[in-house]
Amino acid sequence: MSSTATSNAITPDLIIPFMNAVTQVFQKMVGVPATVQKPYLKTQTASTYDVCGIIGLSGQVAGSVVVSFAEAAAVNLVESFSGTRFKVSDPDFADAIGELANMIAGGAKQHLGGVASISTPSVVIGKGYAIAGMSDIPCVVIPCTSPRGDFAVEICIKRHKAA
Amino acid sequence: MKFLLVDDSKTMRNIQKKVLSNFPGAEFAEAGDGIEALSVIAATPGGFDLIMVDWNMPNMDGITLVKKIREKDAKTLLVMATTEAEKARVLDAIRAGVNNYVVKPFTPEALTEKINATLAKAKAA
Ligand SMILES: [Mg+2]
C-alpha cells in the first residue's frame, strides 16, 4: 500500500501563485508590466507558443512548468530583461528564457505548500513542442499579455498528500 | 571591491554586475556553478570581498558551495541570491554561513540595499 495519496485536481491554490509570480518577475526584473488573463484547461499536448522555458518540480508538488513565448515576444522580452537584443539562435537568448522560467517557477513554489525542489531550466525552441509523460495530470494554461508581446505559463502539476 | 558572481544564468550574472558596478572599485569574476566557483576561488590568491551565490545550479548547488567555502573561510561575505524563499531554505542558508539573502526576482534598488546592509553589518562586527 502506498503511504501517499495523490490529488489530481488542479485547484486555484496551485494556479494563483504562478499568476502572482509572473506579475512580480516582469515588474521587478523585466521592467515590462505583464497582465495575466483567465486560466483555462489545456486540451492539446503541444505548447502554446514556439519558445519554451521548462522547469521540473519534484517533491510534495510535482510536475512541470512551461513558460511559452511567441518568438517575436520572446526576442522583445529578453531584450527588456537582459538589455541586449539577441538572435533566437544565440545561447544567451536561451539563457535568458531559462532564467525567466526559473524565477516564475521558483517564485510560485514558495506558495504552493509542501516541500518541493525545482530543476535547472531547459529551453526548447521550435513549433509544437509537446510535454511527454504528463497524460495523467491536468494542465492549465495562464495566458499573459504585455506591451512587448504575449506569452503563456503552462502548469502541469499535482500535489502528493501525506496519508 | 572584488565580487565573485556565481549563477548558472549568465543573464543573471550580467544583471548583478550592472547593479554592483555602482560600488566603489568594483571588480568582477564569474562562475556558472559551485565547482567552477571553487576553482576560481582557489586561483584567486587575494580572494574576494563578497560572493553572490545562486542556489539552483548544475554540478554543485549554492548551498553546498556555501558549506565548502565556510569549511576554511569564515570571513568572505556570502550573499545568497535565489528564487528559494521558503523559511526552511533561508534558515538552512543562514546555518550554512551566508551573511545575507536576496530573493529573486529583485529590483536593482533592493539588491543595492541588501549589499549595503551586508557591508555595514560586516563593518560593525
Ligand atoms: Mg540558477
Residue A88 maps to which CATH number?
3.40.1550.10
Residue B33, helix vs strand vs coil: coil
How far is the C-alpha of A14 from the C-alpha of A37, rounded, in Å? Answer: 16
Ligand 1 centroid to Cα of residue B31, in Å, is 12
Query: For A86, what's the count of Cα atoms within 13 Å in the CB-facing half-sphere?
Result: 21
pLDDT at A5: 57
Specify the CATH architecture of the domain B2-124. Answer: 3-Layer(aba) Sandwich (3.40)
Q: Which residues of B touch A28 (CB under 8 A)?
A: 105-107, 110
Tell me the mean pLDDT in the region B10-37. Answer: 98
How far is the C-alpha of B30 from the C-alpha of B125, rounded, in Å? Answer: 28
Q: Do B56 and A102 touch (CB under 8 A)?
A: yes
pLDDT at A74: 98
Q: Which residues pair with A48 in a beta bridge?
A: none
A61, three cell numbers: 508538488
Task: List, for residues A81-134, the tens digit of each pLDDT value.
Answer: 999 999 999 999 999 999 999 999 999 999 998 889 999 999 999 876 666 555
How far is the C-alpha of B108 from the C-alpha of B14, rounded, in Å? Answer: 12
In a domain, A163, yes or no: no
Tell me the mean pLDDT in the region B114-125. Answer: 95
- The answer to whether residues A155 and A101 touch, using CB atoms and an 8 Å cutoff, is no
Residues 6+ apart with CB under 8 A from A20: A107, A108, A111
Nearest-by-Cβ selection for A99 from B9, B84, B110:
B9
Average pLDDT of chain B is 97
Domain of A116?
12-158
Phi, psi at residue B20, to the nearest 5°?
Answer: -75, -15
Q: Which residue of A has its CA nearest to B109?
A: A28
Task: List, for residues A41-60, the tens digit of each pLDDT value.
Answer: 988 878 888 999 999 999 99
pLDDT at A45: 79
First to last CA, chain B: 18
Tell me the mean pLDDT in the region A5-30. Answer: 89
Length of chain A: 163
Tell me the mean pLDDT in the region B15-29. Answer: 97
Q: Do A118 and B11 touch (CB under 8 A)?
A: no
Residue B83 has pLDDT above 90, yes or no: yes
User: Is A25 an interface residue toward B (CB < 8 Å)?
Assistant: yes
List b or e across A86-119, with b for residues whose CB sees 16 or more CB atoms inside 10 angstroms. beeeeebbbbbbbbbbbbbbbbbbbebeeebbbb
How far is the C-alpha of B105 from the C-alpha of A79, rounded, in Å? Answer: 17
In a domain, A5, yes or no: no
Instruction: Give the CA diameter of chain A.
Output: 54
- Tell me the one-letter amino acid at B41: I
Name the domain count of chain A: 1
Q: Positive or negative, the Cα torsion across A39, A45, A148, B8?
A: positive
- In chain A, % of residues over pLDDT 70: 88
> What is the pairing mode between strands A51-59 and A116-118?
antiparallel
Residue A48, helix vs strand vs coil: coil
pLDDT at A2: 43
In a domain, A74, yes or no: yes
- The answer to whether residues A25 and A103 touch, using CB atoms and an 8 Å cutoff, is yes
Q: Do B105 and A98 touch (CB under 8 A)?
A: no
How far is the C-alpha of B53 from the C-alpha of B49, rounded, in Å? Answer: 13
Q: Which of A92, A102, A119 should we substitute to test contact with B (largest number of B Cβ atoms within 10 Å)? A: A102
pLDDT at A160: 82
Residues 6+ apart with CB under 8 A from B52: B3, B4, B5, B6, B7, B16, B20, B79, B81
How far is the C-alpha of B53 from the C-alpha of A90, rounded, in Å? Answer: 25
Tell me the mean pLDDT in the region B1-21. Answer: 98
- ipTM value, please give it: 0.94
CB pairs under 8 A between A and B: 63
In a domain, A96, yes or no: yes
Task: List, for residues B49-59, the tens digit of each pLDDT value.
Answer: 999 999 999 99
Instruction: Give the CA diameter of chain B.
Output: 36
Q: Which of B8, B11, B56, B63 should we substitute to test contact with A (largest number of A Cβ atoms within 10 Å)? A: B11
Domain extents for chain B?
2-124
B6, three cell numbers: 556565481
Q: Do B104 and A83 touch (CB under 8 A)?
A: no
Q: Which residues of B touch A18 (CB under 8 A)?
A: none
pLDDT at A3: 44
Residue B49, helix vs strand vs coil: coil
Ligand 1 centroid to Cα of residue A71, in Å, is 23
Q: Do A24 and B15 touch (CB under 8 A)?
A: no
Ligand 1 centroid to Cα of residue B63, in Å, is 12
Q: Which residue of B has its CA nearest to A114?
A: B86
Ligand 1 centroid to Cα of residue A145, in Å, is 25
Nearest-by-Cβ selection for B86 from A82, A83, A110:
A110
